[in-house]
């Protein structure tokens, strides 16, 4: 009942205000378009362009003044003013070819034009097309800004003088009154609305010029194909760095956790035996200590790069000189064979080979259970060969949710050095093999 009784009142209320609502809404939109925050900021942007145009205008007056006004360098005639304007615009376009012009223009437009920041290019203009667009923007900004700035300086005092015509006989008899034919008092009453129209016209012109600049800014200051390519290359480089750091964390921390888990489990089983072998337990605890200390150091190095934001720093990763400690931490059932002198290997090859062995041992000791894992590192001529084998488990190992990234990282490391890597079952055993060139192709990273 309450809702039905209230319906006639609510039905009449919108009808009574419907006539005035569109007019108020239109007036509100017009006021915002002419005097809103965005319009004021664009107006300020135009005035900034007018200020930047002043040196070019002065040069133009030096050139045009003696030609059009009988030797007067700074004449006040309109011909000299617009002649100097016409000379100054090409000069402004030429100076826009300097590298710093686009970054400064983008900074000003990004703050004052009301255009999303992502639609602007970063850095100096490169290439003829980008420089030509920057020159076009600079000339447009300074040219429109000079006109709007001149009108902003001249029209408000003139409008005030026109508005004061009804109240001053001296003004009615002056040049202002005779120009508008308002030299009589009853005619001078038209000066008030005329002054309002002049000020509204100035605001409308400034808003239109600001909207023009805002629409032209993305096209003239936006990224060129070369800028987009450079941005894509930067993103690819950042992604490569993140992938490299993720790979290092996976190999270092993943191996450490696997080795520590295996060593701790073996030590627990020995302690649970009837006659525990305390020497074996001591060796297992020592291996756990060495593995965790080494992994913490590598983790600190990776996190240090992440904190500093460096994308070209080298990780302090160990090389093949730390191979014995790596094998010792993996457990007693690892048989390592090394052939050749590994001390003269390039640093990049030694570092990546260490990571490949580390990942291979991590997978092998996880799935080999109580069987022996064989690892072989051999240097033959200009090639380093890494081979690891372990018996396949009787039952399929539990798959990780993400499918594992270790073998994929091994293949990536070998490929970056110009080598190859393969992994899979061979004659009832799981084999991981990698071949890395150690000549000029493998020494560069």
How confident is the model over 33-56, as pLDDT tens digits? 888 899 999 999 999 999 999 999
Reading the block at residue 233, the tokens are: 């290359």
pLDDT-derived band of residue 136, with 50, 70 and 90 as boundaries? very high
> What would the mean pLDDT of 89-118 be, rounded to a whole number?
88
pLDDT-derived band of residue 72, with 50, 70 and 90 as boundaries? low
* 244-443 under CATH 3.30.565.10, yes or no: yes
pLDDT at 298 over 60: yes
* Chain segment 246-263, per-residue pLDDT in tens: 776 666 676 677 677 767
Q: What 3 state SS string does 90-107 have?
A: HHHHHHCCCCCHHHHHHH
> What would the mean pLDDT of 385-396 be, rounded to a whole number?
75
**What pLDDT is recorded for position 74?**
52
pLDDT at 73 over 60: no
pLDDT-derived band of residue 368, with 50, 70 and 90 as boundaries? low
The larger pLDDT score, comparing residue 10 to residue 300, is at 300
> What would the mean pLDDT of 407-432 be, rounded to a whole number?
83
> What would the mean pLDDT of 289-307 be, rounded to a whole number?
70
* Mean pLDDT rounded to a whole number for the chain: 78
**Collapsing DSSP states into helix, strand and coil, what is residue 378?**
strand
**What pLDDT is recorded for position 354?**
84
**What pLDDT is recorded for position 316?**
57
pTM of the complete model: 0.53
pLDDT-derived band of residue 443, with 50, 70 and 90 as boundaries? very low
pLDDT at 406 over 70: no
How many C-beta atoms lie closer than 10 Å to residue 310's C-beta? 11
Rg (CA), the chain: 40
Strand partners, 423: 432
> What would the mean pLDDT of 296-325 be, rounded to a whole number?
66
The larger pLDDT score, comparing residue 181 to residue 389, is at 389
Residues 324 and 302 sit within 8 Å (Cβ to Cβ): no
**What pLDDT is recorded for position 23?**
67
Positions of E strands within 238-380: 334-339, 373-380
> What would the mean pLDDT of 429-441 be, rounded to a whole number?
80
Distance CA 310, CA 306 (A): 7
Give the closest residue to 339 by CA, choosing from 376, 378, 374.
Answer: 378
> What would the mean pLDDT of 367-377 be, rounded to a whole number?
76
Reading the block at residue 292, the tokens are: 């965790």
pLDDT-derived band of residue 303, with 50, 70 and 90 as boundaries? low
pLDDT at 18 over 50: no
Select, from the ranges 76-90, 175-189, 388-402, the one with the highest average predicted confidence (pLDDT): 76-90
Q: Which range is least confidently modeled, 73-82, 123-132, 221-230, 340-349?
A: 73-82
Residue span(s) of the chain under CATH 3.30.565.10 come to 244-443
> What would the mean pLDDT of 4-32 be, rounded to a whole number?
58
């Amino acid at each position: 009942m309450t809702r039905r009784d209230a319906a006639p009142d609510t039905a009449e209320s919108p009808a009574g205000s419907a006539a005035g609502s569109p007019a108020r809404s239109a007036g509100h939109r017009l006021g915002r378009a002419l005097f809103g925050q965005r319009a004021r900021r664009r107006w300020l942007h135009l005035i900034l362009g007018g200020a930047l145009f002043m040196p070019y205008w002065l040069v133009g007056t030096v050139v045009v003044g003696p030609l059009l006004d009988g030797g007067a360098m700074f004449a006040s005639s309109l011909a000299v003013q617009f002649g100097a304007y016409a000379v100054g615009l090409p000069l402004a376009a030429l100076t826009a070819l300097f590298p710093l012009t686009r970054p400064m223009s983008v900074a000003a437009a990004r703050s004052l034009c009301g255009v999303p920041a992502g639609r602007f290019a970063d850095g100096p203009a490169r290439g003829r097309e980008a420089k030509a667009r920057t020159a076009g923007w600079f000339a447009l900004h300074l040219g429109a800004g000079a006109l709007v700035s001149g009108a902003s300086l001249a029209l408000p005092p003139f409008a005030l003088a026109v508005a004061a015509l009804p109240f001053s006989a001296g003004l009615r008899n002056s040049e202002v009154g005779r120009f508008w034919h308002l030299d009589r008092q009853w005619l001078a009453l038209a000066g008030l609305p005329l002054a309002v129209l002049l000020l509204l016209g100035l605001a409308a012109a400034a808003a239109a010029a600001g909207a023009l600049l805002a629409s032209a800014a993305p096209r003239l200051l936006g990224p060129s194909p070369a800028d987009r390519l450079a941005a894509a290359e930067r993103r690819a480089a950042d992604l490569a760095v993140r992938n490299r750091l993720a790979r290092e964390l996976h190999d270092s921390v993943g191996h450490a956790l696997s080795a520590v888990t295996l060593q701790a489990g073996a030590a627990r089983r020995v302690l649970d035996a009837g006659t525990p072998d305390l020497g074996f337990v001591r060796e297992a605890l020592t291996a756990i200590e060495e593995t965790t200390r080494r992994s913490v150091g590598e983790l600190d190095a990776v996190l240090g790069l992440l904190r500093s934001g460096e994308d070209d720093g080298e990780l302090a990763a160990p090389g093949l000189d730390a191979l014995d400690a790596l094998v010792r931490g993996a457990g007693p059932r690892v048989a390592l064979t090394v052939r050749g002198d590994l001390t003269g290997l390039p640093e990049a090859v030694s570092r990546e080979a260490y990571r490949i062995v580390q990942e291979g041992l991590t997978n092998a000791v996880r799935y080999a259970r109580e069987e022996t894992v064989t690892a072989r590192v051999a240097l033959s001529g200009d090639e380093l060969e890494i081979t690891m084998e372990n018996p396949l488990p009787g039952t399929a190992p539990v798959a990780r949710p993400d499918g594992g990234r270790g073998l994929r990282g091994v293949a990536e490391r070998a490929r970056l050095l110009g080598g190859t890597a393969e992994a899979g079952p061979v004659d009832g055993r799981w084999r991981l093999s990698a071949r890395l060139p150690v000549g000029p192709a493998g020494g560069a990273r």
